Amino acid sequence: MTAELHEELTDPNADQLDHGAASSRPLKSRISEPQPRGAKVHGNRPIDQSEAANRFIAATEHEAMHDARLWDLRQKRDKEMHGIEEWEELRDLASGIKEHTLSKLDYYLELFEKNATANGIKVHWAKDGAEHNAIVLDILRKKGVERLIKSKSMLTEECGFRHFMAENNVEVIETDLGERIQQLDDEAPSHVVVPAVHKLRTDVAGVFAKTIGSDPDNADAHYLTECQREATRPLILSAQAGMTGGNFVVAETGTFVVCTNEGNADLSANTPSLHIASIGIEKLIPGLDDLAVFVRLLSRSALGSPITQYTSHFRGPREGGEMHVVLVDNGRSERLGMEKFWRGLKCIRCGACMNTCPVFRRSGGLSYGATYAGPIGLIIDPTFNVHKYRNLPYSSTLNGSCTNVCPVKINIHEQIADWRKTLAGEGEISPVKKVMMKAAGEVLASPVVYRASLPLGRSALRHLPHFMLYNKLNTWGRKRDIPETPKQTFNEWYRKNRKQQAEGGKS
Amino acid sequence: MSGSREAILEAIRKNHIQGDRARPNVPLFDQAAPADLKELFQKSLERMGGKLLTPDAADPMAPVRQAIVKAGPVLSCVPEFEGDMKVTPQTKPTDIALVEYAVLRAAFGVAETGSLCFTEKQLLVNTTGFLPQHLIILLDPAQIVYNLHNAYQRPEWTQAHYAVFQSGPSATADIEGVLVHGAQGVRSLSVLFHPAS
Amino acid sequence: MKVGLFVPCYVDMFHPETGIATLELLERFGLSVEYPVDQTCCGQPMTNTGCEREAAKTEELFVRNFEKYDYIVTPSGSCTNQVRHNMTAIEESDAVKHVRSRTYELVEFLHDVLKVDAFPWAEFPHRVALHNNCNTLRNLRIASMTERREEPFSKPKALLKMVKGIEFADLTRPDECCGFGGTFSVFEEGVSAKMGQDKVTDQLKSGAEYVTSSDSSCMMHQEGCARRMGANLKYIHIAQILNGARA
Ligand code: SF4
C-alpha cells in the first residue's frame, strides 16, 4: 500500500500547515513504550483517577507527547484569539445565546421539531441512552441495515451505542480516524475532539497491524492514515445507513450542523440513503445569526484553526433519502434544575478546557474512567453517577484556566469547588478526607490547640503540621523535600519583638 | 415514544431556569471589511490547505486543465468545463468514488475562513463534494462575503436541504498531531476565480 | 488607618521571614499594623476540600480576630481569595461583610490602596522569575492572563520594576499552574509533583536565579520539588524583595 500524499507533506522539512487538528510544530515520540491504559473500573466503586494518572506519568514518553501536543493546541487557540478583536464579545454572546435558549428549551425544541418535520425529517425523542439505542435499532431493522457508518459523537458514547449494536448484530464503523483507532483498540475516546491523542504513533501502528493488516514496523503517520482510508472506504461504500451527531441545532430553520475535519460526517450522511443523527437536547440555538457566533468560536477554541475543514448543514433528506433526528435527554432536563450546575449544559464540546488543564495534560483522558474527561467531565460526570464519580472533582487544582478559555464562559472551576461541597454534604466523600478535615477544622478553630500541634523547635520532627498529616500516608515527601522548620514561628517572633502590640492585638 | 416527548418537555418546564435571559443581538462585526475580499480569501484558503489557481484571461479553463495532473476520470458539474463524466439522473452517490477530479462551482465563498459553500444545487449528487480524490472549484469573486456573520445572511440556508462549508481539503492530525490531507474526504482542493456566466 | 496583619499558617510556621518582611514593609509606610496573636488560618484547607461545615469555626475565629481593623493585609493571594470569595460557611453578618471586603493581598494593597510609587530602600541585583498563584491571578486578577484577550498588566511586576537592579526571566508557560492546589498537593500527590517538576524545569530554562511570588504556598511546593531535583534555584517572597532584601 503506498501513501498518496499531498505535495507539501512529502517534504519532511516543510512547515506544518496550520489547520485541521495539526500541531504547529513537528512533535515526534522517540521510543516506543507500552501504552498505559485508563482507570480501573470496578462496577460502581468510585474511580481512582490519581492511580491511573500516576501510571500515565510513569509512561514518560506518552506523558511528554500528550502534554506537548495539547499545550500546542492551547497556544494555537491563543493565537487565533489575538487575531479576533471581538473575541471576548463573541464569548459573551455565545454564553448569552446558550443561557437564553436553555431558559426556553421546551419552546425551541418544539420549534425545531415543527420546522424539521415540515422539511421531511423524522424527529424522535429519547429519555435515556437505552431508549435512544432502541429507536435507532428499530429504524435500522425496518430497513434491513447490517452495516452502519458513523462519525464522531460523544452522545453515542454516553449511550453505550457501539456495544449495544454489536450485541444486536449491526456492524458499526467509525469513520473519524481517531475514533476508528479507538474502536479498533476497543478503548473509549480519551478526548472529545482528538480521541486518540493519548496514543503514540507506535501504538497506532500496533493496533493497525493487528486489525487492518498494516506493516507493524511502519509507524509513519501518513502511511497509517492512508491505510485506514483504504481499509475504510469499501466499508463506507457498502454501508446501508449513516449516523452523525450534531454540534448545533438551529430551531428557526430546522437545521442541524455537524463540524468535522475529515469530511466523515458528510460521507456518513450522504453516501447511504438513510441518515440518522443523534443529538442532545442542549444543542439547540435559536437562529442562523446565533450559529455564526458558534462556528467562529468552535474550531478556534478547540484546535486553533479558523474553522473545521467541513461545516455541514442538514435541513432535510435528499431526494429519495430518509433522515431521522433522535433528540436525547439522558439526564439533561434534570441537570437544568440543578441551581449550581445547569450552566454545564452550555458546553459545545470544544475540548479547550481539556487542552489547557494541567492535570488533564499529565493524566490522559482515560484516567477519568468516564465518558467525559477533564474539567468539563469533573462537573458533568457526577450528574450521571454521583457515587462512582465522587472523586473526580478533586482531580483539579482549582486553577481556573478552564473557565477562562471556555468559549461559552462556563464557570467550570467554581462548579468543581461547588461539587466538592455538594458531595461532602451528601456524604459522598472519602473517609480519609472527611476525618482529616474534621480534625483540621477543630485544630484551626482553637489558637491554643493549633499552637500545640505545630512541630516547633523539634528539628527531628521536621514534618508538616499534624492536620496535614492526619492520613497515615505522608505523600508530601515522596517526590518533594519537606521544608525545614525555622527556630521560631512568626507568632513567637512577634510576641518577642512587638510585645506591646501583641498585647493590643488579642481578641 | 410520544410518551418520552411529553416527559422530556414536562421535565424541562418543571426545571425552568430562573431569571430573564433575553436573546442577545448578534452584530455583523464587518466594519473592518476590506473593499476587495479576494486577497483575504486567498490568504485564508491557503491557510486551510487549499490552493488558488492563477487565472488565464486568454484561455479561462486552462488553469483547470493544468491542475489535472493525475490520471483518472474527471467529473464536471459546470457548463464551463468539459469532463469525462457528467451526473445523470441514474448516477448513484457511490458512483462518485471512481472520480479522480471533480470540477464544481461554489455558491459563494467566505473570506474570513477561506470557506466555499456548496448545496445540492451545485453538487448535483451530494457525494461529489467529498468522494472524489481531488476538487477543482470555480468561484465568482463577486460571491465572496467577508465573514461568517455575513455568510449566514445568505439565502442558501433556507433553500437547500444540504449545505456545506468546505474549507480546504479533508485533513486529520489524529496521530501525534501530524497533518495528513485526505483522511476521508478529498486529498486536495484548488480554487479558480471565475465569474459566473 | 489601622491594619491587621494576617500571617497564614504556612508562613507562620515555615517562612517567618516573610511575615516579618510584610510587617516591616507596611510599617515603612507609616501604618499602624497589628498582628492579632490568636489567629490561626482562613479556613481554606477545609473549604478547598468541600468541607464547608468543618470550616465554620475557623472562619468565626478569623472574623473575631480581624473585625476591628480598617484593612486586613496578608502576604498570600490564595488566602485573600478564600476570605473574599469563599468564606461562606458562616452567616453573612456586618462584621463578616466588613472583614471579607477589607482583606487585601499585600501586592494589591500596595498597588491599589497605598498606590506606592517607589521603594527607595529596595535593591535586588538578580535574575528573577515571577510566579503568580492561580487564585491570585485568575480570581483576584492581580495580572492579565494568557487565556483572555485583554490588555497585558501585572501588579507584582509593576512593583518589582521599582526595585533597583532587578532583571526578569521569562517562562515559556508563565501562568501554568504549578500543581500545589492546597490539599491537592497531598491527595493527588503524583500529578501535583509532576506539575511542580515541570514548573521548576521551566524556571531553570529561563535562566532565573530566584523565583518570587506573593504566595508562599506555591513556592513551598516548588522549592520542595527543586531541592529533590537538585535544581539550583532560590525562592523568595515578594515582600522580602520589596522590603529591601539583597539576596
Ligand atoms: S466546558 Fe467550555 S471549554 Fe470545555 S469543552 Fe465545554 S465549551 Fe469547551
Summarize the confidence of residues B158-182 as an average pLDDT: 94
Contact A38, A188 (CB under 8 A): yes
Distances (CA, A) of B49 to A8, A310, B172, B194: 9, 13, 12, 20
Spans of all domains in chain B: 26-193
Cβ–Cβ gap A125/B97 under 8 Å: no
Domain ranges of chain A: 88-332, 431-504
Any A CB within 8 A of C174 CB = no
Tell me the one-letter amino acid at A387.
H
Tell me the HSE value of B79 on the side-chain side, using a 13 A CA sphere: 3
Nearest CB to C190 within list A50, A424, A483: A50
DSSP single-letter state for residue C139:
I
Q: Which residue from A342, A360, A406 has its CB within 8 A of the most atoms of ligand 1, so it is best to mutate?
A: A406
Please check the confidence at residue A8 and state whether its pLDDT lies above 70. Answer: no
Residue A466 has pLDDT above 50, yes or no: no
Cβ-contact A277, A326 below 8 angstroms: yes
Is the CATH code 3.40.50.10420 the one for domain A88-332? yes
Q: What is the pLDDT of residues C187-201, one digit of tens each?
A: 899 999 999 999 999
Residue B55 to residue B191: CA distance in whole angstroms: 10
What is the Cα–Cα distance from A193 to A69, expressed in whole angstroms? 13
Q: Report the distance separating Cα C44 and Cα C92, nearest Å.
A: 17
Q: How confident is the model at residue A3 (pLDDT cuts 50, 70, 90)?
A: very low
Mutate-to-test residue for ligand 1 from A77, A285, A300, A348, highest number of ligand atoms within 8 A of CB: A348
Residue ranges of A 178-207 with Cβ closer than 8 A to chain B: 178, 181, 194-197, 199-201, 204
- Nearest protein Cα to ligand 1, atom 4: A353
Tell me how far CA of residue B9 lies from CA of A109, A294, B25, B125, in angstroms. 8, 25, 27, 38
Dist CA B165 CA B148 (whole Å)? 10
Distance CA B83, CA B70 (A): 14
Instruction: Show residues of chain A in contact with B177, CB under 8 Å.
Output: 21-23, 27, 69, 72
Complex ipTM: 0.97
Q: How confident is residue C36, by pLDDT bands cut at 50, 70 and 90?
A: very high
Question: What pLDDT sits at residue A2?
Answer: 42
Q: What are the cell numbers at A337? A: 434544575
Q: Which 3 state secondary structure label does DSSP give C235?
A: strand
Do C196 and A401 count as a contact with CB atoms less than 8 A apart?
no
- pLDDT for A507 equals 52
> Rounded mean pLDDT of B46-59?
95
Contact in structure between A372 and A393 (CB atoms under 8 Å): no
Residues of B in contact with A309 (CB under 8 A): 48-49, 166-171, 185
For position A6, what pLDDT does the model report? Answer: 43
| A288, B196 Cβ separation under 8 angstroms | no
Considering chain A, what percentage of its residues have pLDDT values greater than 90? Answer: 78
Whole-number pLDDT of residue A457: 45
Distance CA A327, CA A124 (A): 6
Q: pLDDT band for A455, please (50, 70, 90 cuts).
A: low
- List the beta bridge partners of residue B109: B116, B144
- Distance, in Å, from the CA atom of A122 to the CA atom of A131, rounded to the nearest integer, reads 16
pLDDT at A17: 61
The rounded distance, in Å, linking the Cα atoms of A402 and A415 is: 11
Lowest mean pLDDT among A238-247, B105-114, C37-46: C37-46
Contact between A177 and B174 using a beta-carbon 8 Å cutoff: yes
Report how far residue B87's alpha carbon sits from residue B93's, in angstroms, rounded to the nearest whole number: 10
- Contacting residues of C for A49, CB less than 8 Å apart: 188
Q: What is the CATH number of domain C127-242?
A: 3.40.50
Contact between chain C and chain B (3 or more Cβ pairs less than 8 Å apart) = no
C-alpha cell at position B51: 490552493
Residue A123, sorted as left (phi over 0), alpha (psi -120 to 50) or beta, turns out to be beta
Decide if B17 and A261 are in contact by the 8 Å CB cutoff: no
Provide the greatest CA pair distance for chain C.
Answer: 50
Q: What is the pLDDT confidence band of residue A474, given thresholds at 50, 70 and 90? A: low
- Please, what is the average pLDDT of chain C? 94
* Residue B59: exposure state from Cβ atoms within 10 A (0-12, 13-18, ≥19): exposed
CA–CA dist A65, A69 (Å, integer):
6
**Residues of C with Cβ-Cβ distance to A476 under 8 angstroms:** 185-186, 189, 224
Whole-number Å distance between alpha carbons of A296 and A30: 36
Short-list C159, C166, C176, C174, CA closest to C209:
C166
| Distances C152 to A71, B195, C145 between C-alpha atoms, Å | 21, 46, 8
Q: List pLDDT tens digits, range A288-327.
A: 999 999 999 999 999 999 999 999 999 999 988 999 999 9
Following DSSP, what letter does each residue of A104-148 receive, concatenated? THHHHHHHHHHHHHHTTPEEEEESSHHHHHHHHHHHHHHTT--EE
Q: Where are the domains of chain C?
A: 2-113, 127-242
> pTM for this one?
0.94
Q: Which fold has domain B26-193?
A: Rossmann fold (3.40.50)
Report pLDDT for B184.
85
- Mean pLDDT, to the nearest integer, of A263-276? 94
Task: Say whether B144 sits in a helix, a strand or coil.
Answer: strand
Using CB distances shorter than 6 Å, the residues near ligand 1 are A 347-353, 376, 405-408, 410, 412
